[in-house]
């Protein structure tokens, strides 16, 4: 593995969940975070997302750097509307992968991410960015035409809060297109790893079931208009990613409980320190 590559270990075969594991019932509110990666590998460090991205930012490529990311990007781009002339938010932009792609498609694009080291990379590449939590977006309500969120929602425990914030900032008729590693990975034992300073690390993941995605979209006033579960040819037994497109249907946005700022008018990393730093 080259130092700027990550990998998703999808090689493990599905097994029936043990008693008390697997899909949770709708009444169970606590999200599931998988802290254990490949069993028996004591040397593999498990990191919370922000600690991981601080280590990884220097070498994290703003382009797909494994087969799963290439598959995910192809599916997500296929669900995007024509972005020319639109105002687009890349929620959880990292080093600016979708920020760049939105600009190339004629959008006025801005990125938000909680990781300052990742944002510095996106800003250096010409991106308009601000630091913030996707569960408390520093953006005015009804100011965005489309939200893109690529492989980010596995980093947050409460899916409904993040999607509610994306719905809040959308204009009526606007859409959010997001992707996650497929929820089947929780039962399959998938892990996400990267190498930094010569050591392999794993990123802790919050898993949300397919039903939780449907419920969170509905609760945010988002109507699902596209749904893809593409499969990697190397692992054809089950889907690798989930990609969703959902449109904002409410005439009025959800109330902003975090306080709005005009993010579209701010472009430097150091200008945005307004959102809570805690995960949502």
pLDDT digits (tens, 9 = 90+) for 162-204: 999 999 999 999 999 999 999 999 999 998 898 888 888 999 9
The candidate with the shortest Cα–Cα distance to 62, out of 34, 33, 104, is 104
pLDDT tens-digit map of 120-139: 999 998 889 999 999 999 99
Residues 6+ apart with CB under 8 A from 18: none
Looking at residue 238, its pLDDT comes to 92
Minimal CA–CA distance to 196: which of 63, 44, 66? Answer: 44
How is the chain split into domains, by residue range?
44-265
Give the pTM: 0.80
| Helical (H) or strand (E) element with 177 | strand 170-181
| pLDDT confidence of residue 271 | 29
State the Cα–Cα distance between residues 31 and 28, nearest whole angstrom.
8
User: Which element (helix H / strand E) includes 30?
Assistant: none
How far is C-alpha 15 from the chain's CA centre? 27
At the second CATH level, the architecture of 44-265 is 3-Layer(aba) Sandwich (3.40)
Residue 109 is encoded by which pair of tokens? 């694009």
pLDDT digits (tens, 9 = 90+) for 71-116: 999 999 999 999 999 999 999 999 999 999 999 999 999 999 999 9
DSSP single-letter state for residue 153: G
Would you tell me how many other CB atoms lie within 10 Å of the CB of residue 70? 13
């Amino acid at each position: 593995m080259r130092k700027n590559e990550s990998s998703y270990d999808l090689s493990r075969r599905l097994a029936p969940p043990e008693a008390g594991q697997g899909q949770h019932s709708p009444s169970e509110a606590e999200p599931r975070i998988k802290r254990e990666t490949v069993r028996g590998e004591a040397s593999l460090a498990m990191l919370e997302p922000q600690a991981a991205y601080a280590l990884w930012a220097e070498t994290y490529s703003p382009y797909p750097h494994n087969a799963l990311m290439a598959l995910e990007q192809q599916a997500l781009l296929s669900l995007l509307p024509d972005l020319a002339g639109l105002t687009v938010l890349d929620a959880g932009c990292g080093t600016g992968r979708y920020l760049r792609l939105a600009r190339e498609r004629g959008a006025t694009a801005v990125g938000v991410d909680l990781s300052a080291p990742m944002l510095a990379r996106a800003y250096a590449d010409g991106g308009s960015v601000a630091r913030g939590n996707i569960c408390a977006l520093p953006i005015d309500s009804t100011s965005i035409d489309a939200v893109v969120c690529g492989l980010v929602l596995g980093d947050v425990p409460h899916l409904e809060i993040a999607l509610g914030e994306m719905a809040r900032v959308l204009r009526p008729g606007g859409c959010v297109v997001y992707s996650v590693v497929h929820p089947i990975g929780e039962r399959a034992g998938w892990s996400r790893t990267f190498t930094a300073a010569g050591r392999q690390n794993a990123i802790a993941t919050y898993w949300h079931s397919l039903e939780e995605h449907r419920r969170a979209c509905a609760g945010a006033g988002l109507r699902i208009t596209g749904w893809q579960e593409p499969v990697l040819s190397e692992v054809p037994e089950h889907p690798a990613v989930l990609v969703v497109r959902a449109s904002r249907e409410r005439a009025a946005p959800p109330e902003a409980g975090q306080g709005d700022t005009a993010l579209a008018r701010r472009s430097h990393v150091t200008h945005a320190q307004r959102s809570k730093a805690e995960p949502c």
